[in-house]
Amino acid sequence: MRLEKCWFCSSTVYPGHGIQFVRNDAKIFRFCRSKCHKNFKMKRNPRKVKWTKAYRRLHGKDMTHDSTFEFERKRNRPERYDRNLAENTLKAIKKIDKIRSDRASDHIKNRLKTGKVQRQKEARKQLEQGIHLVKAPHALAQDSSLCLPKIKVNVSQAQTEENQPMEE
Amino acid sequence: MVQYNFKKITVVPNGKDFIDIILSRTQRQTPTVVHKGYAISRLRQFYMRKVKYTQQNFHEKLSTIIDEFPRLDDIHPFYGDLLHVLYNKDHYKLALGQINTARNLISKIAKDYVKLLKYGDSLYRCKSLKVAALGRMCTVIKRIGPSLAYLEQIRQHMARLPSIDPNTRTMLICGYPNVGKSSFMNKITRADVDVQPYAFTTKSLFVGHTDYKYLRYQVIDTPGILDRPFEDRNIIEMCSITALAHLRAAVLFFLDISGSCGYSIAQQAALFHSIKSLFMNKPLIIVCNKTDLQPLDGISEEDRKLVMEMKAEAMKTVIGQGGEPTNEEGVLLTMSTLTEDGVIAVKNAACERLLNQRVELKMKSKKINDCLNRFHVALPKARDQKERPACIPQAVLEAKAKQAAEKEKRKTEKELEDENGGAGVYSASLRKNYILANDEWKEDTMPEILDGHNVYDFIDPDILLRLEELEREEGLRQAEEEGDDFEMDGQELSLEEQEALAEIRKKKSLLIQQHRMKKSTAESRPVVPRKFDTDRKFTTRRMGRQLSSLGLDPSLAISRARSKSRGRKRERSVDKREGDGRDAMDIDDNQASKKLRLRSTSRSRSLSRPPGEVIPGEGLKDSAQKIKAIKLAKKSVLKRNKNARRGEADRVIPTLKPKHLFSGKRSIGKTQRR
């Protein structure tokens, strides 16, 4: 039993799911669901369809080269069973997974960083330029910080009574 | 060696079919269209062609029949006799002769009619001539119909004859019916002949093949022969007689000692003697079958005598061949096909005898001398008297012995399965014989899938090392990351600044929205002067709110606005009366001043108005008029609104031909008008 990759979107196809199409030149196309299958039949190029992994890798949205990818390689010759090796492999898979996902998220974070910086600069500029819409210049002159003015509320002062000690 | 294969004879069609085939072929392959306006030579040619064509076809087909059927004189006498026995030579020849005559007749007819056609003077005459010609040819064929049917039957039967090669090494099995000839045949060859308890189970010759000393021998099983005068024999017996007569083969005469075939030994001996003339020059072996029922030693004296007589006869044949010393064992043999006791011995003996005889014959013939000169078997000359037997190393002998023992001792999986309850209950442990580093691991189940990965793809003997490296790398990378992160945090806006920014953006979007609305309705929007402020947008309270949200103190502005709205007079009167207090007289004054000032201009209080109240500047006389005006306005708008029209000039039809009005059948009624 093997988990395969969908040819169109590159997600994993679990057993019992999807469709396999074998072309006359014996090339096998596996699809995870009918969405991918129908897209394939429409002859769409996955590298141009935004939500596929192929597009994302091609356009640098997701991580492409990494040493963690080399751990997972299809081996054609089976190895003799060794319990220790099996145990170690299972533990290793978890660790490798974690590292890989960390690296992938870091990659995305870095990618989005420049946008963030830009947006912050823009926001600051907008704030400086538009502060006159929410704060009168007089108020600005008094309190030069770029935030909303504090609204003074007239509280009706009760007559101050002398604090008389309570009659006992 | 020519293999007599009668399977390749083409099918002989019966009379009607024959005519149909030929005529339809003529119809198809010759031109069909002819008009009486054509030139006469063309007409003649047209019909001559048809006649000729038909004749040619008939000739062809009949010739193939005649050629393909074998001529009984030309083939091997065995086949000739066999066919004679089966089909009667005379009938056969007659049938073929009829075909031949038919062929000649047809040729003659064609010739005559073609000659006549050459002088035909009209379409009609030519046509009738052609019709007559074809008709006559067809009649000829109809007359030979029975012969054709007969030949077809013969052909079918011939195709099923066994392919016996008369020249190769052959063994012939003969004897009374039910003595065990077919069982013997089944035992030594792969032929599957019917074996049944009734006589004449085998009704024709059967061929099987067997091997001896790397040579292939034909074994022919014959139907049983009864002891009758020659003329009384039926066709089935005649088959075997023919085979005996013509094939140069080793003869195995079968004798049923037990008598369970229904005939005594005396009868069988009598048969033997009557056909012994056929055994000339053939190696003869007398086989006593069914010894499991009755051993040879146990028979009575007379029977024994008869058997010995037969043996003597057989010996004569041996002596007759090349004067070999009498080999008693090779002549009279016992066996039982049921217990398979002695079957192989019989076969070997027969093959041996036959081989020897054939070799002798070949030696005697002239051709062999040419070859003999080329043969030379080299044997090493013995240098001394020492014996040198084959040398088998001890290890090999031991291994052989062990193998034999092992084969008996080893328990097979099948036995194991049977012990534990059979196929449905026990499932063999396939892992039993696995070769692993540690035998405890044999029953381990290994997961194939983990967290969306195939475990087999990750297996690697040095995965631990690589993992360590990876973790080291990762550690370094994370350290670098943290360094980078610290640079970032300078630029963020504080919470209050963010609030301010949000407000700014909200205000801006509001402004934009309003502007857009204004822009779109600019042309149709009525411009109401601001002083009439129907929406009560311009109140001091509102102003106060807005100013204070901007961070200014509104109290001064509010008071100023209010004072302005009240007008000068009010101020003055307020000044004067400050000290006095209010009398009734002042009220009049107030009222008078009130008249001049209208309540609407005071923006200090927002009060709801009654619907019909006339506002000066509108141009209406009194409230009744205003009410009526309002009513009229609403009425005029009502219909339009109900039709979802935006205004007077909106004549848009969104769909010119809505489908539900222009298509479909009515459940009741007609659709004449839409």
Question: Domain-by-domain residue ranges, chain A?
Answer: 1-61, 63-69+82-133
Q: Is the CB of A83 less than 8 angstroms away from the CB of B444? A: yes
Residue A154: which pLDDT band, with cuts at 50, 70 and 90?
low
Residues of A with CB below 8 A from B479's CB? Answer: none
- Output the DSSP codes for B81-129: HHHHHHH-HHHHHHHHHHHHHHHHHHHHHHHHHHHHHTT--SHHHHHHH
For residue B1, the model assigns a pLDDT of 35
* Top-ranked range on mean pLDDT: pick from A26-35, B121-130, B295-304: A26-35
What are the backbone angles phi and psi of residue B24, rounded to the nearest 5°? -70, -35
ipTM: 0.80
Is the confidence at residue B589, as pLDDT, over 70? no
Mean pLDDT of B140-167: 90
pTM: 0.45
Which string of b and e fits A8-42 if b means at least 16 CB within 10 Å?
bbbbbbeeeebeeeeeeeeeeebbbeeebbebbee
Structure tokens that stand for B449 in this block: 């899938």
Residues of B with CB below 8 A from A99's CB? Answer: 470-471, 474
Domain A1-61: give its CATH code.
2.30.170.20
Q: How far is B479 from chain A (nearest CA, A)?
A: 13
Mean pLDDT of B415-442: 89
Who has greater pLDDT, B125 or B278? B125
Which string of b and e fits A121-160 if b means at least 16 CB within 10 Å?
eebbeebeebbebbbbeebbeeeeebbbbeeeeeeeeeee
Who has greater pLDDT, B537 or A20? A20
Domain with CATH 3.40.50.300 in chain B: 170-365
Is the confidence at residue B320, as pLDDT, over 70? no
- Asked whether B333 and B285 are in contact (CB, 8 A), the reply is yes
Is the confidence at residue B91, as pLDDT, over 80? yes
Which of A106-115, B72-81, B130-139 comes out lowest in average pLDDT?
Answer: B72-81
Is the confidence at residue B587, as pLDDT, over 60? no
Residues 550-569 on B with a CB inside 8 Å of A are 550-553
For residue A6, the model assigns a pLDDT of 97
Residues of A with CB below 8 A from B430's CB? Answer: none
Mean pLDDT of chain B: 84
Who has greater pLDDT, B437 or B318? B437
Residue corresponding to tokens 């008369």: B166
Residues of A with CB below 8 A from B504's CB? Answer: 126-127, 130-131, 133-134
The DSSP symbol for B180 reads S
- Asked whether B66 and B99 are in contact (CB, 8 A), the reply is yes
Is the confidence at residue A12, as pLDDT, over 80? yes
Q: Is the CB of A79 less than 8 angstroms away from the CB of B459? A: yes
Who has greater pLDDT, A95 or B238? A95
What pLDDT, in 10s, does the model give residues B53-67? 999 999 999 999 999
What pLDDT, in 10s, does the model give residues A41-97? 999 999 999 999 999 999 999 999 898 998 988 888 888 999 999 999 999 999 999
Is the confidence at residue B195, as pLDDT, over 50? yes
Residues 533-552 on B with a CB inside 8 Å of A are 547-552
Is the confidence at residue B199, as pLDDT, over 90? no
Strands A12-13 and A4-5: antiparallel
Mean pLDDT of B115-132: 93
The DSSP symbol for A81 reads P
Residues of A with CB below 8 A from B445's CB? Answer: none
For residue B18, the model assigns a pLDDT of 93
Q: Which CATH code of 3.70.10.10, 3.50.50.60, 3.30.450.20, 3.40.50.300 fits the domain covering B170-365?
A: 3.40.50.300
CA distances from B34 to B29, B39, B49, B54, B116 (A): 15, 10, 13, 18, 19
Who has greater pLDDT, A73 or B597? A73
Select from A67, A71, A115, A62 the least CA-distant residue to B477. A67
Domain with CATH 1.20.120.1190 in chain B: 15-160
Mean pLDDT of B466-477: 93
For residue B571, the model assigns a pLDDT of 47
- Asked whether B601 and B615 are in contact (CB, 8 A), the reply is no
For residue A92, the model assigns a pLDDT of 94
Is the confidence at residue B585, as pLDDT, over 60? no
Question: Which residue from B minimizes the CA distance to A129?
Answer: B504
Domain B15-160: give its CATH code.
1.20.120.1190
Is the confidence at residue B141, as pLDDT, over 90? yes
Residues of B with CB below 8 A from A104's CB? Answer: none
Residue A167: which pLDDT band, with cuts at 50, 70 and 90?
low
For residue A1, the model assigns a pLDDT of 87
Is the confidence at residue B573, as pLDDT, over 60? no
Distance CA B339, CA A22 (A): 59
For residue A21, the model assigns a pLDDT of 97
Which of A26-40, B258-272, B308-322, B469-483 comes out lowest in average pLDDT?
Answer: B308-322
Residue A165: which pLDDT band, with cuts at 50, 70 and 90?
low
Who has greater pLDDT, B582 or B672? B672
Q: How far is A20 from chain B (nearest CA, A)?
A: 19
Mutate to test the interface with B, among A1, A72, A89 (most CBs of B within 10 A): A89
Contacts of B598 (CB under 8 A, 6+ apart): B616
Is the confidence at residue B603, as pLDDT, over 60? no
